[in-house]
Structure 1
Amino acid sequence: MFSLQTIFGQGKQFYALLDQAADAAHDSTKALHAMLREPARIHSLDAFKLARQREREASDKISQALVDSFITPIEREDIEALGSALYRIPKQVERFADRYALAQHRLEGIDFAPRAAMLEQAAGVVVEMVKELPHLRLERMKALNDRLRVLEAEADRLILELYRDIYSGRLEASEMFLLKEFFEILEKAIDRCREAGVVAYEIALKNS
């Protein structure tokens, strides 16, 4: 028979790995916000690659731990779903950063920083939600989920303003296509945060 200490010990392992994945995702959004606050500078992409590497390592460890562990603190499918959702955040952020570094000279006058700030805040809320999972305090998780929904709505509003620039008639077709691509990548990054938050909240609902 397995003791409670065994169960809680397995739980700490998975929660720690999910925390690492959430922190790596948040760090990628911090790096993007820093990049977009100073568009005139030439920025290194090392921070994004490091965040992706850390996320990948955490994801691999979660997968291996699921194979090795007979007991998990929450359902295996939920651990996999949350790990996968967290993995997609820095992947999307790095995609934006890579393209921005290449096209920076063609994006003068476009201020992405306020939207990147919203993305960073959203990823920060996801970190809080993941860290809250071991405690399963539903009221706290609901408050964080509501906060994430507000951030998503505000980010959508800001991105809509950017789309107004696209369709203003002042831009060439090639410029419209380029900006639309960047807006969509940034929008998806925020959606990835929301998706991770939804998974975390549903886990809390199921286990509270």
Structure 2
Amino acid sequence: MFSLQTIFGQGNQFYTLLEESAVAARDSAHALHEMLKVADRQPALDAFKLARLQQRDVSSKISQELVDSFITPIEREDIEALGSALYKIPKQIEKFADRYALALQHLEHIDFTPRAAMLEQAAEVVVEMVRLLPKMKLAPMKVLSDKLRALENEADRLMLELYRDIYSGKLDPLQMFLLKEFFEILEKAIDRCREAGVVAYEIVLKNS
């Protein structure tokens, strides 16, 4: 049943739902960073499953609101694009966590925490950007966009260092494979944060 508030409201519920989605992504990144700090034990995956369930729930609510609402605060395509970009962040993080749990015995001497910390920072910036959306102010959004780009550039630099280690000849074939695979998953997760940030920035650029 449609309510008058749903039909003729200002559509601010979309900002709330997008923020919930961004927070779920940030929580997933935080859980990964905390998990990797205690790499000497079998990781618990409950936090990642919960974050993904929260993302699915929010994504479904956004889709339903787009059907039910006549008025949206920004273009429907932008809401869908940002929601989709946010949805992909915890999906990538859960992929890392699941595989890490399976390969833990082969990863004892590999420290992923610096990259995981960078991912958590990127996810936190995304939360800040989404929270800024209702204000539609370009200057503070650009500051956050530049910060996110800097994190992505630093992640790219670290990947180049990683490839130097891989091709140094000091690692056995299995270590080389695992090192490359897991760091590329982390890099892609940071890229997902950057993609969400780009969408948020472009929304403000169009509407400010």
- Measured against the shorter chain, the TM-score band is over 0.9
In structure 2, what is the Cα distance between the partners aligned to 1:162 and 1:7? 53
Counterpart for residue 197 of structure 2: 197
Counterpart for residue 71 of structure 1: 71
Partner secondary structure for residue 55 of structure 2: helix
In structure 2, what is the Cα distance between the partners aligned to 1:111 and 1:160? 16
Q: CA deviation at 1:177?
A: 1.5
Counterpart for residue 54 of structure 2: 54
Q: Which runs of 5+ in 2 are unaligned?
A: none
The number of aligned residues is: 204
Counterpart for residue 126 of structure 2: 126
Counterpart for residue 207 of structure 1: 207
Task: Report whether the alignment pairs 1:152 with 2:152.
Answer: yes
Counterpart for residue 114 of structure 2: 114
Q: CA deviation at 1:6?
A: 7.8
Counterpart for residue 188 of structure 1: 188
Q: CA deviation at 1:39?
A: 0.8
Counterpart for residue 94 of structure 2: 94
Partner secondary structure for residue 134 of structure 2: coil
In structure 2, what is the Cα distance between the partners aligned to 1:8 and 1:109? 58
Provide Cα deviations, 1:86-144, integer angstroms capped at 9, x if missing partner.
Answer: 00000000000000011011012111100000000000000000000000011010000
Counterpart for residue 80 of structure 2: 80
Q: Which amino acid aligns with 2:103?
A: A
Counterpart for residue 138 of structure 2: 138
Provide Cα deviations, 1:41-95, integer angstroms capped at 9, x if missing partner.
Answer: 2221000000000011000100010011111100000000000000000000000
In structure 2, what is the Cα distance between the partners aligned to 1:118 and 1:194? 12
Q: CA deviation at 1:170?
A: 1.2
Is the 1:28–1:51 contact (alpha carbons within 8 Å) kept by the matching residues of 2?
yes
Report which stretch shifted further, 160-169 or 67-76: 160-169
Is the 1:29–1:123 contact (alpha carbons within 8 Å) kept by the matching residues of 2?
yes
Q: Which runs of 5+ in 1 are unaligned?
A: none
TM-score w.r.t. length of structure 2: 0.94
Task: Please tell me the root mean square deviation across aligned C-alpha atoms, in Å.
Answer: 1.5
Report which stretch shifted further, 106-115 or 175-184: 175-184
The sequence identity of aligned pairs, in percent, is: 75
Counterpart for residue 171 of structure 1: 171
Is the 1:122–1:148 contact (alpha carbons within 8 Å) kept by the matching residues of 2?
yes
Is the 2:130–2:200 contact (alpha carbons within 8 Å) kept by the matching residues of 1?
yes
Q: Which runs of 4+ in 1 moved over 6 A?
A: 5-8
In structure 2, what is the Cα distance between the partners aligned to 1:88 and 1:94? 10
In structure 2, what is the Cα distance between the partners aligned to 1:157 and 1:132? 29
Q: Which amino acid aligns with 2:28?
A: S
TM-score w.r.t. length of structure 1: 0.94
Is the 2:7–2:69 contact (alpha carbons within 8 Å) kept by the matching residues of 1?
no
